[in-house]
Structure 1
Amino acid sequence: ERLEKAVQQAYKKLVPKYNIPGFRKGKAPRFILERYIGSEVLYGEAADILLPSVYFDAVKETAIEPVDQPEVEIVQLEAGKPFVFKAQITVKPEVKLGEYKGFEVEKKILQTGERQVDEYLKKMQDRYARLVSLEEGEVEKDDIAVIDYEGRINGELFPGGSAQNYSLAVGANSFVPGFTEQLMGMKVGEQKEIKVTFPQDYHAEELAGKEAVFTVTVKELKRKELSPLDDEFAKDVSEFETLEELKADIRKRLAQAAEGMAERAVKEELIRKASENAEIEIPEVMIERRIDLMLEDFEGSLFASGLTLEQYLQAIGKAKEEFREEFREQAKEAVHAELTLEAIASAEKMEVTDEELKEEFKKIAEKCQRDVDSVEKALADGDRLEGLKHSILLDKVVDLLVQEAKITEKMVPSPADMPEEAETAGGSGNLEGEEPLAKAESVEE
């Protein structure tokens, strides 16, 4: 019966496409169309119509979880006979869980004090510095030198080795090693030959390990003029009226950032331990799909910087497949960890409640500065909603790992530079130490 309905649908879809002698276009009876185009064409179209629903029913009936498109072979497709097909399917692998409760982990919290506050203030001072053009003076570290240069290897110019009015941050290691150091001490208008050797691992293989001579002219010199750290500075860069208020806010946010970093590190360690204890044979297609997602994310970050993946690959001198392979081990670990968390959720009979889903809608709405109804509507799409539920479920599993773990806290000395996770109020970034809410990034309608 289902096959007959599919054949009738196929007939209605195909008949308007053919001009059959003796009939107006689209008006030929089905048996005439079948004679004209062949039963293989008609029934082939019917199979394309019928297969998705029949395949879905078979998957549902067998309770398997496919992770890739099936390879389908039609076994029987004839009028008056049952429709029979074979489907070769790659399914989600079985997970043999090991121990995942009671892990002993150390929560290392970076100590924050006045040194970190002062360092952060210096970074703010540097970030909001004003660039001043100098009519005279010598190139110093951290200056911006506007230069013309011509590079030669064995006396010959080489592609990409020349530029005019190039703004170079002196000491930023953004050029060939040893280049900016030799700029220091040069004066505006001065010309000089700078000799360098390209690193053996330089991205452009044709230049790697070769000596080059650059003829450089300093055309302009710019230097940062720092504002004094006082109440006026605090007013200019934040919502605070005094420097002491700004310092207090930085102090609080650095402590929050340190706490957030420590919590994330604990979660990552617990996930790693649980994943290491689980035995899984991961299908290659799942790893390939995860690599695809990682590359998409990487391309997105490049796009935000004004680059394409092709431009980036050209700059580092790598083919796409070679670059893709660099993600493989990370992708494999990510898939292994996710399958482990899913298996724990199943073992613990965890589910996402309507209340938890509504609470997540509220969080996303607050983060995106939108009303809850619009967020809920934007995420009502089946795949999006299931993706959100899946994310909430995995978060619940991680929370369980944390609850069941034996965690000891340890204060550790901070490095000279605190991680730049954020800016304070009135600036950019996030010093709250919160996990990035990836769920909130795909709410656009």
Structure 2
Amino acid sequence: MKSSVEKLSDTRSKITVEVPFSELKPEIDQAYTALAQQVQIPGFRKGKAPRQLIDARFGRGAVLEQVVNDMLPNRYAQAIEAEGIKAIGQPNVEVTKIEDNELVEFVAEVDVRPEFELPKFEDITVEVPAIKADEEAIEAELETLRARFSTLKDHNHKLKKGEFVTINITASIDGEKIEEATTEGLSYEIGSDDLIDGLDKALIGAKKDETVEFTSELANGEHKGKEAQISVEITATKQRELPDLDDEFAQLASEFDTIEELRESTVTDVEAKQKNEQAAAIRDEVLAAALGEADFALPQSIVDEQAHSQLHQLLGELAHDDAALNPLLEAQGTTREEFDKKNVEDAEKAVRTQLFLDTLSEVEEPEVSQQELTDHILFTAQSYGMDPNQFIGQLQQSGQIANLFSDVRRGKALAQAICRVNVKDSEGNEIDPKEYFGEEEVAETESEA
């Protein structure tokens, strides 16, 4: 087999492959065997008909077509490996020559991973927020826990931020009622500031059974951007009552018997949470800095495929009803044009990151253990809410286990590179990234898993 490569661009190559018939004996034998099973010729058992009779019945062209279909995948894979082509995506293949008993020639165009120089991670410096497991953070965590066990009780005093109301909202423009901006029996927390601009200010100081009025610009719908008169009737008012921080609460909200034990556990939890956040911040900052120093083109077809996949996933949540997307985007205060633009930008970012990490993986050459792969599969199954055995079965059926292996390899390659980066926190303290990304920490995580 002979092959040659022509570089079409930084992200696309064309490979021409010639395969002599002397190398196609296995495929030729397989083609005749398959065709012999499809015909019953008098005087011969099924599957035992001579090749001359098969040629006469089906024609030599049918045999050659079967041979070519059988040989293309393997010969293409052999050619790109021999030529060192880092192919991504599916190739466009064209059979350009078939000379019976001589050779088969085909041409394949395929997107390739662009070549670029990786930055020196030793020269990268990043800054991340400092860990502050102080009393304020601990109290905030305890307040969040108290809120989970709070109760709502009616009251009749003037409304304050953080209290709850049930309201009927009517919107109108020049006396004409706007149905899409009108609702009844809506529950709302004052101060959340996620409904109508000016609503919180109007509610604060009001009382149950009162009606407040104000003007506001409509954010969505047919009248988006227009000033409307908003009338809000307050039908119910409630305030949150938090349980006391005592031993009884500790027993209710946790496995601890005393509030002191709960507080000590909260300190540990806050520290662990902030360390996880700091580790994630280091990873994100290093990756962003490294990508900023790596200049390379993106294969447009791969970007388009990624953008289409992201859109398809969103439409899947809408029962693949494209018409339902625009109302959803309007409710989020954006347009289809803005959504499509951001979708492409997100796709470009995802493709750029993966290509960068694939190149980094080749340089770092991290080893991925079976335990690491298993842990990643179990974690992914959990994130999808699937039974692990069912998830593994689907991976095997679709041939996706190799993709998850690559995910783990990319993560380990980045972790190795991060260990060479200079890291400081927002208070100027130096951080050893090996504390989060060193081999000992990885091994410890595997053991705990």
The TM-score normalised by the length of structure 1 is: 0.71
Alpha-carbon distance change, 215 to 97 in structure 1, aligned in 2, over 3 angstroms? closer
Say what the alpha-carbon RMSD is for the aligned residues.
4.3
Q: Mind listing any 5+ residue stretches in structure 2 that lack a counterpart?
A: 1-24, 41-52, 430-440
Q: Who is 1:132 aligned against?
A: 153
Kept after mapping to 2: 8 A contact 1:6/1:47:
no
Q: Who is 2:167 aligned against?
A: 147
Given the alignment, which residue of 337, 350, 357 partners 2:370? 357
Distance 2:284 2:209 in 1: 54
Distance 2:117 2:254 in 1: 53
Kept after mapping to 2: 8 A contact 1:197/1:210:
yes
Distance 1:77 1:254 in 2: 69
Alpha-carbon distance change, 330 to 368 in structure 1, aligned in 2, over 3 angstroms? closer
Alpha-carbon offset, residue 215 of structure 1: 3.4
Distance 2:65 2:333 in 1: 47
Distance 1:258 1:65 in 2: 40
Letter paired with 1:82: L
Q: Who is 1:88 aligned against?
A: 109
Q: Who is 1:179 aligned against?
A: 199
**Deviation by residue 1:21-41 (Cα, 9 ceiling, x = unmatched):** xxxxxxxx8668758xxx988
Letter paired with 1:357: Q
Q: Who is 1:74 aligned against?
A: 95
Q: Mind listing any 5+ residue stretches in structure 1 that lack a counterpart?
A: 17-28, 414-433, 440-445
Alpha-carbon offset, residue 130 of structure 1: 0.8
Alpha-carbon distance change, 203 to 290 in structure 1, aligned in 2, over 3 angstroms? same
The alignment status of 1:99 with 2:120, answered yes or no, reads yes
Kept after mapping to 1: 8 A contact 2:211/2:233:
yes
Distance 1:182 1:33 in 2: 88
* SS of match in other structure, 2:114: coil
How many residues align structurally?
390
Kept after mapping to 1: 8 A contact 2:55/2:63:
no
Kept after mapping to 1: 8 A contact 2:372/2:408:
no
Distance 2:379 2:338 in 1: 41
**Deviation by residue 1:166-225 (Cα, 9 ceiling, x = unmatched):** 222222112110123213344333344443233xxx343x32332212333222223212
**Pairing 1:34-433 to 2, within 5 Å after superposition:** 34=58, 50-77=71-98, 80=101, 82-106=103-127, 108-134=129-155, 136-198=156-218, 202-204=219-221, 206-292=222-308, 312-316=328-332, 318=334, 320=336, 322-348=338-364, 350-353=365-368, 356-361=369-374, 383-408=399-424, 411=427
Q: Percent identity?
A: 23
Alpha-carbon offset, residue 327 of structure 1: 4.0
Alpha-carbon offset, residue 9 of structure 1: 7.8
Q: Who is 2:435 aligned against?
A: none
Alpha-carbon offset, residue 150 of structure 1: 2.3
* SS of match in other structure, 2:418: helix
Distance 1:163 1:376 in 2: 47
Distance 2:325 2:367 in 1: 38
Kept after mapping to 2: 8 A contact 1:110/1:411:
no
**Deviation by residue 1:338-387 (Cα, 9 ceiling, x = unmatched):** 33333233234x1425xx23245357659989999999878666844323
Kept after mapping to 2: 8 A contact 1:10/1:45:
no
Letter paired with 2:173: I
The TM-score normalised by the length of structure 2 is: 0.71
Alpha-carbon offset, residue 140 of structure 1: 3.3
* SS of match in other structure, 2:88: coil
Letter paired with 1:143: E
Distance 1:239 1:301 in 2: 38
Kept after mapping to 2: 8 A contact 1:361/1:376:
no
Kept after mapping to 2: 8 A contact 1:151/1:158:
yes
* SS of match in other structure, 2:182: strand
Distance 1:313 1:366 in 2: 31
**Deviation by residue 1:416-438 (Cα, 9 ceiling, x = unmatched):** xxxxxxxxxxxxxxxxxx99xxx
Letter paired with 1:345: S
Distance 1:241 1:157 in 2: 57
* SS of match in other structure, 1:387: helix
Kept after mapping to 2: 8 A contact 1:145/1:167:
yes
Letter paired with 2:356: T
Stretch of structure 1 that moved more, 42-51 or 144-153: 42-51
Alpha-carbon distance change, 292 to 248 in structure 1, aligned in 2, over 3 angstroms? farther
Distance 2:378 2:144 in 1: 32
Kept after mapping to 2: 8 A contact 1:111/1:411:
no
Distance 1:322 1:203 in 2: 15
Alpha-carbon distance change, 234 to 294 in structure 1, aligned in 2, over 3 angstroms? farther
Distance 2:297 2:251 in 1: 58
Distance 2:353 2:31 in 1: 45
Stretch of structure 1 that moved more, 263-272 or 232-241: 263-272
- Structure scoring higher RCO (CA < 8 A, sep ≥ 6) equals 1
Alpha-carbon offset, residue 142 of structure 1: 2.3
Letter paired with 2:142: L
Alpha-carbon distance change, 342 to 71 in structure 1, aligned in 2, over 3 angstroms? closer
* SS of match in other structure, 1:397: helix
Alpha-carbon distance change, 194 to 321 in structure 1, aligned in 2, over 3 angstroms? closer
